Structure 1
């Protein structure tokens, strides 16, 4: 049947179609797509953060030795990297959730507003994270 002269080519997804010169796909990544994906990823990261908070509470309940070990783990370089990532996740997810509240009101759906909102989410997450970690460094909490 595929050899019949009336057989047409099957449609192809837009992200697989190449441009007029055959060099670049017509479909490309946008900042709003990254924001959407990272909103979900930071939500998952916050679940991990919840487990860390639970481990903190359990270590407190188990006494000074367990809490000392918990602090040593989080005070290590990998622990600080995880905590920095969780800080970014909190602020990114917070800002992205705020944008969703704006969308729930029916605003911000046009392309210019959606792109600007995504840029503001990244900027807020970076600035707030650096501010918190800067304050922690200045007060000796690191």
Structure 2
């Protein structure tokens, strides 16, 4: 269909923007952490399925277990395990942050940013510590 021209003496309506916020919105730490918390929850659910597969392979015998172990010790498997480890600690630390918020504390803007960056830093430190401990134990065998 062709749009009708405006009546004589009237200007054509200007197209309205979808939302003025689309042009000026910049993701904030709180929104990024909120989305990350949901994403890590989904990833951890998938990792739980992987854990069940790993345990089932161990119960099925040495051949199926060896196949899964080869996948886990490959570089791609190690990247996935590292991501799952970081996701676990990010989700855990974010949950602790929310527990503090449930006590109606830490809602000042400065506290929100301090706790947000603390969640990111603690997740990185805990992930590095867990992997260092794992490498230490594996190396001491």
Asked if Structure 1 and Structure 2 have the same fold, meaning a TM-score greater than 0.5 normalized by the shorter chain, the answer is yes
How many residue pairs get aligned? The number is 132
Change over 3 Å in CA distance of 1:66–1:12 after alignment to 2: closer
**Structure 2 CA distance, aligned partners of 1:117 and 1:29?**
17
Q: In structure 1, what is the equivalent of residue 83 of structure 2? A: 85
Which of structure 1's runs of 4+ aligned residues deviate more than 6 A?
none
The normalised TM-score by structure 1 is 0.83
Richer in helix (by share): 2
Mark the structure with the bigger radius of gyration. Answer: 2
The aligned runs of 1:21-40 (5 Å cut-off) are 25=24, 27-40=25-38
Change over 3 Å in CA distance of 1:16–1:65 after alignment to 2: closer
The normalised TM-score by structure 2 is 0.83
Structure 1 position 15 matched with structure 2 position 13? no
Higher RCO (CA < 8 A, seq sep 6+): 2
CA-based RMSD: 2.1
- CA deviation map 1:50-85 (0-9, x unaligned): 011110111011011111111111011110000000
